[in-house]
Amino acid sequence: MKTTRTLVICLLSIAAVVMAYFCVTSVTTPIKFENTRAQREVAVIKHLVDLRTAEVEYHHQNGVFTANHDSLLLFLKTAPKKELLKEGSLTDKQLEAGLTEQKAIKILNEAKKKALKNNSFEDSDALYAYIWANDKDVISNGLAGFRRDTIELNMLQSLYKGEYDETSIDKIMEIPYSNGQRFEIEVNNDYKTSQGIRVPLFEARASFESYLGDLNKQELVNLIDRETKLDHYPGLKVGDVYAPNNNAGNWE
């Protein structure tokens, strides 16, 4: 009798421990999953933002987006980044007199042509110093100190400020925590608005399964089911190939 009572007490104790374990796990598992998800999505979003930067520049220079990972990487590694170097600005008085940026640049370009025809200069600084001091049209329009030059910069340095180089930029295509899976990229370069205006579109995305696939399977299934029922993409993405959204991310 005593043995039976002891056995029952032991079994009840074990059951209580097991129940307590499952109760605690039912609370801590979702919390752990969401904490890990949040931590990982910081890295995934960073890559998506960098990828968006690359696509926007590609579109700026080519008029279309590209869904080809290798073409985009080659562009980032080899294409120059053109930027307008600005020095000085037009005054209200000059603007009221009808002088615009375009007119001012045209006057400067004509002055540079004339100066280079008869002189040689050590660099562009010397050229500008000369036309500011000697060209009649430049002086009469008050453009001394006004400068506009298109310069070519290294693409990676210009876009990412040294964060990537030619050997590390390939990582931009890889989804963090995915064992090397690449972001899906889709483009729609023939999309037209209701007014018939062509607006090229792109979309880059990473599914929940790609970067959360090694976590609790039930929590992952619940997350995907929840987002799908809300008609949301089950993951992170930027852009949209079905409607213009200013290349926004679905977390923004």
219 Cβ contact list (under 8 Å, min separation 6) = 29, 30, 33
The whole-model pTM stands at 0.76
Instruction: Quote the pLDDT of residue 162.
Output: 87
Instruction: Quote the pLDDT of residue 18.
Output: 54
Instruction: Quote the pLDDT of residue 85.
Output: 86
Amino acid code (one letter) for 23 = C
- The residues of the chain scoring below 50 in pLDDT are 21, 27
Q: Which residues of 59-83 are buried (b: 16+ CB within 10 A; e: fewer)?
A: beeeeebbbebeebbebbbeeebee
Alpha helix segments (H runs only) across the chain: 2-62, 69-78, 92-96, 101-118, 124-134, 136-140, 155-160, 208-212, 217-229
